[in-house]
Structure 1
């Protein structure tokens, strides 16, 4: 049952990435592209955890994908705010 839930979470992350990609194609706003990449990294992280069946995910190198995803989100928000402030 847990593999099924992991698959649903992976699919949710991938679909969220596709939505942000669609918003990026309409607006060409870098924030949306960053969110799309971040959600795809989260989907990859979840898929790798599901396939490898590790007992504690926080003790694997896969956890670095999650760290990178959140770093991309934080960096994109900071850059967006810096650009808005400079105008």
Structure 2
């Protein structure tokens, strides 16, 4: 399992049926890493977060396209908004 920590810069819904797939882009030190979310709960949660505000720590494995398939996600800079909507753990 690989870990990556970076600023959430973009979220995209790739497919909704039959399985929900979301793409996120995380930036750290000028490097952009793409992550794929297959989990419906995490996918719904990620669309509640505004871009360019939250730092995420994600864990997963790389696929053939060198995208990180995310299994676990943690928000590093929790604020009042996150306390209201809850955390993804």
**TM-score above 0.5:** no
Structure of larger gyration radius: 1
Higher helix share: 1
Q: TM-score normalized by structure 2?
A: 0.28
